[in-house]
Amino acid sequence: MKFFSFFKQELAIDLGTANTLIIQDGEVVVDEPSIVAINRKTGETIAVGKKAMQMHEKTHEDIKTIRPLKDGVIADFQAAENMIKGLIEMIGTKRRFFTHLKMVICIPSGITEVEKRAVFDSADHVDAKETYLIHEPMAAALGIGLDVEEPIGNMIIDIGGGTTEIAVIALSGIVTDQSIRIAGDELTNDIVGYLKRQHNILIGERTAEQIKIHVGAALEDIENPPEDFPVNGRDLMTGIPKQIKVSHVEVAHALDKSISKIEDAILRALESTPPELASDIYKTGLYLTGGGALLRGLDKRISQKTKLPVHVAEDPLRAVVRGTGIALKNTDRFSFLIDRKSV
């Protein structure tokens, strides 16, 4: 058997709007931003992942940085392919002689058939012989250790970069789901807009992301509030670079509308949940995963809105890819995996 495994490479891929993670042999081997830098003249790929992110919003006219995924789905086909190829090449122990590449790729639950086809085609172009798709909430549930095959209802809220996926899972299937395109990217844009309006200062996407990480909050009143964060940007009145300090209270105010939309989607999902599963959810509570789960006070805010307990997953950023890795090991067992043949 070991001889045959030499000719086989198995990868679990969480193809995210903001970050892409790859698991091989049970461990995360790639964790990089979903971005690619290309030469405009020749079209060749210059950098992928962190290196490309360092160039983002700092390029001259010959270099272009592209984020191939928008709202959780492939928006730029060629760039997505180059990115997946580049990330697979980053895996240290790449098997040069392998003949069989098997992949399980994670997709949003609100994806269309056309968008699914784009994922399969990208997998084909990196020479995958077997490709399976798994819906994000299902992968997240597996990743946080829930038994998805039991006749018990669990609600997963996965706040990623492009989409927020809310799903009630029971008996290896998604019973009811809401997929909204308000997530990490939208929150970043809210911060850019707020600083423009309130402080007349223009900042880039990367700076807004840093603000979200350092002083991001969903509530003004939180335990252990972070220190104010110094922000550098361009003064819109004078055009000269300047620095201001931003507090978590301001960020909570900036993000309020978008978080309210996420809360409304959670309430819609709860409204359409069958009563027997609703009684399970009352006991088990809601599970928060994805990068958005790290926003300070978000669990408390959702709990106040729904009057239900809210659990933040351990290491929420990697919950989805861990679940995808579990699905990869058990492709025969899980009926909810979408095989390329069935699409």
CATH number at residue 312: 3.30.420.40
Q: Which of 221, 254, 287 is the last residue of a domain?
A: 254
What are the helix (H) ranges across 29-112? 50-55, 77-90
- Helix, strand, coil percentages for the chain (3-state, nearest 5): 40, 30, 30
Q: Are residues 193 and 295 in the same domain?
A: no
pLDDT at position 236 is: 94
Q: Are residues 25 and 70 in the same domain?
A: yes
The angle formed by the CA atoms of residues 262, 265 and 269, to the nearest 5 degrees, is: 140
Q: Are residues 281 and 170 in the same domain?
A: yes
Q: Are residues 113 and 31 in the same domain?
A: yes
pLDDT at position 6 is: 58
pLDDT at position 95 is: 54
CA-based nearest residue to 176, from 253, 313, 277, 326: 277
Q: In what order do the strands lie in the sheet with 8-15?
A: 27-33, 19-24, 8-15, 100-107, 130-135, 338-339
Structure token digits, residue 25 = 């042999």
Q: Are residues 152 and 292 in the same domain?
A: yes
Q: Are residues 173 and 47 in the same domain?
A: no
Q: Which of 254, 277, 298 is the last residue of a domain?
A: 254
Ramachandran quadrant class, 259 (left: phi over 0; alpha: psi -120 to 50; beta: rest): alpha
Q: Are residues 57 and 188 in the same domain?
A: no
Under 8 Å between Cβ of 326 and 145: no
Q: Which of 215, 238, 254 is the last residue of a domain?
A: 254
Q: Are residues 163 and 295 in the same domain?
A: yes
Ramachandran quadrant class, 26 (left: phi over 0; alpha: psi -120 to 50; beta: rest): left
Q: Are residues 95 and 203 in the same domain?
A: no
* Sign for the pseudo-dihedral over CA of 166, 80, 46, 60: negative
Q: How does pLDDT run along the chain (343 residues), one tens digit per residue?
A: 444 455 678 899 998 899 999 999 888 899 999 999 999 888 889 999 999 999 998 888 999 999 998 887 888 888 888 898 888 888 865 555 556 888 899 988 888 888 888 888 888 888 888 899 999 999 999 999 999 999 999 999 999 998 999 999 999 999 999 999 999 999 999 999 999 999 999 999 999 999 999 999 999 998 889 999 999 999 999 999 999 999 999 999 999 999 999 999 999 999 999 999 999 999 999 999 999 999 999 999 999 999 999 999 989 999 999 999 999 998 888 888 887 755 5
Ramachandran quadrant class, 285 (left: phi over 0; alpha: psi -120 to 50; beta: rest): left
Q: Are residues 220 and 287 in the same domain?
A: no
Kindly report the CATH number assigned to the domain that includes residue 209: 3.90.640.10
Q: Are residues 156 and 124 in the same domain?
A: no
Q: How many domains does the chain have?
A: 3
pLDDT at position 43 is: 85
Q: Are residues 172 and 206 in the same domain?
A: no
The domain containing residue 132 runs over which residues? 2-139+320-342
pLDDT at position 342 is: 52
